[in-house]
Chains A and B, each alone.
Chain A
Amino acid sequence: MENESELIKQTATTRWTVATAHALGRLTGSTVFYAVISAGALLMVMPMIWMLTTSFKGEQTVFDVPIQWIAVPLHVENYARAYGFVAWPQYYFNSFFVAVAQVVLNLSVCSAAGFGFAKYRFPGRTFCFLLVLSTLMIPFQVIMVPLFIVTRQLGWLNSYAGLIIPGAVGAFGVFLMRQFMVTLPDELFAAARIDGASELRLFWGIAIPLSKPALAALAIFTFTGSWDNLLWPLIVTTKSWLFTLPLGLAGFNSEYGNDYTGLMAASTAATIPLIILFALLQKQFVEGIVMTGLKA
């Protein structure tokens, strides 16, 4: 009897110990886990936080040791000063205008081509599609010199046309739209044809609404690619009224590179539109990368 109760007591104690050890293990396991991934996350965001705080600092305190992570007092005038140096509103306008125009052109031209390749049969279709696929392999750097010559021959140097048109439409968009539209069921279009719908109606009324995820991905990639582009604007423009933000910021950096706080104010301001875009479309951003993964 006594032995038995002793046994039960022992078993209970053992159980309790094992359970506690497990819980402790889980707790420390998860603490270590969160500590490690938090340290990594901190490293990832630190440069951005540094950019933001430095944009509000006084010139003397930029490199203070230990570093001041909160700027007191707030030197908001850094923004006004950076704003005064170069024509930022013009650069913003140019960046927006070029990016939006490229999105509109790329989406309309590529969705039409994607639809044609996916849902029609005509002589030369395979050949044309192979041609598109082969240009997927051509990096921009390989054709930038001849592309400059073509743009010059068209009389588009130092013009919005030159900034926008040559790079607006690419094989990537055609390929993406074709791959997506090929999965739309043919019966849908056959049924609409029986109801007397025109070919344009099939495209605009059926294919486009059903391709929204692909269009969203393409729109995001085109916009961010355009907003980020330094090399092509550098090649086709020499007039500062045509500069886009990357060009303006790079120029600001080489001319006023010693104005650290002004530089960070300008960088922060140039980043805000993309942060807003990302915050609004985070899901589409990630889905777009997963769907295509092609553009970095």
Chain B
Amino acid sequence: MRLTVAARRELWGILFIFPAMTWILVFNIYPMADAFYLSLTDYNLLQPPRYIGFANYRGLFGDGRFVHSLGDTFGYAFGRGIPLVILALLIALVLSRPFRLCDLYRTLYFSPVVLSGVVVSVVWGLLYNPAGLVNQIASAFTQGNPVFWLTSVDTAPYALIIMAVWQSIGFYMIVFIAGLQGIPAEFYEAAAIDGASAWRRFRHITFPLLQPTTLFVTVICVINGFQAFTYQYVMTNGGPSDATEVLSLLIYSTGLQYLKMGLAAAMSLILFITIFVLTLIQLRISRNDDVSYL
């Protein structure tokens, strides 16, 4: 059989995308569809799934532990995300202009990004020890009374947030620096001729033109916060008394340790919808504020 040139090219195109599409179907799309189905069932891996309608969802919102976990997750995602974006932007504003040793300073601020999450958890676990470095530094403010950072309900969520900000700030700084360097210098030259102050330059040039970067960073940052797992698993295992039990941890223990897979799937979908809605809201907000300079 002879194929025309056009038909043969079509076949090649399909051939090129075939492996990737198979992968994505089997390991992304099918599991996603299965998550919808499982969330309507009672399934423990041993007996076949039993359809129970929306009982899992109804159960979840009456379940104090789940609602609490949802609250912990929101607290962590925003508690980490907001300072992270603001501080990363501030550092990027300071370090984006060329000065002597600027590459060295950028590398130093970036370096914690290179560490793996488990290493960071283990090291900070000791830094937060009642006799550890954090308390040695903080002792000036606490009159020498040690703070039990990871074992007290009041401090554990903040301890994890401080550490998370420390580890990720360099990453977002790099994205911001790239965004800042993408702003054409002519805008600043024109503003300098007009005698605009530093604050006005920031308010009327930098900030609006950086908007796409800021939006992008905020979305990614919050989504990442909602997916937190490693720190909480290694350092507190959700404790003390569920104060750091984020959703990923609860999904993991419900579905894969207690094998309540239908219930875990329902939790997963609520996590998914949450992330999805937040992303849409953030995209919408930015569209309203969109400023065009062209």
Contact = CB atoms under 8 A, between A and B. Distances in A.
Interface residues of A, number: 90
Interface in B236-271: 247-248, 251-252, 255-256, 261, 264-265, 268-269, 271
A254 B194 CA distance: 62
Given A112-B16, A139-B275, A278-B114, 8 more contacts: A120-B16, A142-B268, A147-B31, A169-B23, A199-B9, A230-B234, A249-B119, A293-B178
A203 B9 CA distance: 13
Given A63-B132, A231-B248, A143 B16 contact: no
B48 to A, nearest CB: 12
B94 interface: yes
Contacts of B255: 144-145, 148
B220 A141 contact: no
Contacts of B26: 150
Interface of B: 9-17, 19-21, 23-24, 26-32, 34-35, 38, 45, 91, 94-95, 99, 105, 107-112, 114-127, 129, 131-133, 136, 166, 168-171, 174-175, 178, 216-217, 220-221, 223-224, 226-227, 229-230, 233-234, 247-248, 251-252, 255-256, 261, 264-265, 268-269, 271-272, 275-276, 279
Interface stretch (A15-23, A208-216, A282-290): A282-290
Q: Chain A CB within 10 Å — which of B31, B34, B110, B272 has the most?
A: B31
Interface of A: 33, 36-37, 40-41, 43-48, 50-51, 54, 62-63, 65-67, 109-110, 112-113, 115-117, 119-123, 125, 128, 131-132, 135, 137-150, 152, 165-171, 174, 199, 203, 224, 227-228, 230-231, 234-235, 245-246, 249-250, 253, 257, 260, 263-264, 267, 270-271, 274-275, 278, 282, 286, 289-290, 293-294, 296
B13 A296 contact: no
A228 B268 CA distance: 22
Given A113-B17, A116-B15, A249 B122 contact: yes
Contacts of B220: 293-294, 296
Q: Chain A CB within 10 Å — which of B114, B120, B169 has the most?
A: B114
B105 A37 contact: yes
B268 A112 contact: no
Contacts of B45: 149, 152
A138 B247 CA distance: 15
Give 4 closest A-B pairs by Cβ, nearest first. A120-B13, A116-B16, A113-B20, A146-B31
B20 A271 contact: no
Given A116-B14, A142-B32, A48 B115 contact: yes
A270 B119 contact: yes
A141 B11 CA distance: 36
Contact of A203 (B16, B107, B276): B16
A149 B261 contact: yes
Contacts of B35: 142-143, 145-146
A250 B28 contact: no
A150 B272 contact: no
B174 A54 contact: no
28 contacts: A33-B94, A41-B109, A44-B112, A45-B111, A47-B123, A48-B112, A48-B123, A66-B136, A120-B13, A121-B13, A131-B24, A135-B24, A135-B28, A137-B275, A141-B247, A145-B268, A148-B255, A149-B45, A166-B27, A171-B24, A174-B20, A174-B24, A267-B119, A270-B119, A274-B115, A289-B171, A289-B175, A296-B171
